[in-house]
Amino acid sequence: FDALKKSAGTKGFRPVTLKATATIEIKQQIRSFKSHNVIGKLEGGDPKLRDEYIIYTAHWDHLGRHPELQGDQIFNGAIDNASGVASVLQLAAAFTKLNPPTKRSLLFMATTAEEAGLLGAKYYPEHPLYPLEKTLADINIDGINPWGKTHDLEDVTNGNSTLDDLLGQAAARQGRVMKPNSESEKGGFYRIDSFEFAKAGVPVLHAARGIEIIGKPPGYGKQKRDEFVAKHYHQPSDEVDPNWDLSGAVQDIQLLFEVCYQVANGDKFPEWKAGSEFKSKRDTMLKK
């Protein structure tokens, strides 16, 4: 076995049949329960356009409680994703102060069961309150930047639609640069609520926090992000920290406000770009 194990670490290794068997037993408990998406509507001011919609989404669920853990057993989910829900509430409050209001209507939705497989987000496109062909965009927020203002911003939706162009332009007006997702190999786009809207054809936008923290040495932002993932992501320690610097979160939320404002008052629907796997679904929807 030791020789085979050593050989398995070499470049030319080929699989070898082992004369071995294994018995694995897995115990699980299944609990069925009903949960809810929570949605608010801010009606647009243009009689001709108020029946068209832009949605903000952020999942409100987390992992609950683990009674077998020693010490703290509660998964608070402060960053993931109480911070996203708080951001959506702040955006809603900001839009209520506009006079005049946006031409199109805005929806603010806290989705359930994201951690169980994007179930709340999956439910809405299958049972929409408002027609998907009149839903211009979903802007999703899943975690904020708690480490200060950044020079950059990462685009998790990878330039798939004209929404990404609007985000890049808004970032430039802040003196920032939009970059591709630096961790695309982790499949982040396919693990967030906006993916379910994309599958249904609705253009989506999801921006991730930048890592070039202003006033900090190179590598500081990546270090903080990696530290969060290693120590606090999906752990009871994902709690509010009084040492957070939320100026970067404010910076990012202002961008998402601006993008939504432009879409809600614009002359064109956002579009999937040529080559996007979601374009044909949207094109078919809008031809009906």
For the stretch 157-194, pLDDT in tens is: 989 999 999 999 999 999 999 999 888 888 889 999 99
pLDDT bucket at 228, cuts 50 / 70 / 90: very high
Q: Mean pLDDT across the stretch 26-39?
A: 90
Instruction: Tell me the pLDDT tens digit for each residue of 60-106.
Output: 999 998 888 889 999 999 999 999 999 999 999 999 999 999 999 99
* 87 three-state secondary structure: helix
288, pLDDT greater than 80: no
19, pLDDT greater than 90: no
Among 148, 137, 108, residue whose Cα is nearest residue 259: 137
Q: pLDDT value at position 107?
A: 98
117, pLDDT greater than 80: yes
C-alpha span between 135 and 116 (Å, rounded): 25
Structural element, H or E, at residue 111: strand 105-111
Q: pLDDT value at position 184?
A: 87
1, pLDDT greater than 80: no
CB 206 within 8 A of CB 156: yes
Q: pLDDT value at position 47?
A: 97
CB 209 within 8 A of CB 248: yes
CB 192 within 8 A of CB 247: no
pTM over 0.85? The answer is: yes
226, pLDDT greater than 80: yes
* 1 three-state secondary structure: coil
CB 237 within 8 A of CB 229: no
**For domain 35-282, which architecture applies?**
3-Layer(aba) Sandwich (3.40)
> What is the chain's mean pLDDT, rounded?
95
Instruction: Tell me the pLDDT tens digit for each residue of 39-50.
Output: 999 999 999 999
Among 129, 153, 122, 156, residue whose Cα is nearest residue 140: 156
C-alpha span between 210 and 150 (Å, rounded): 6
C-alpha span between 189 and 265 (Å, rounded): 27
C-alpha span between 170 and 139 (Å, rounded): 15
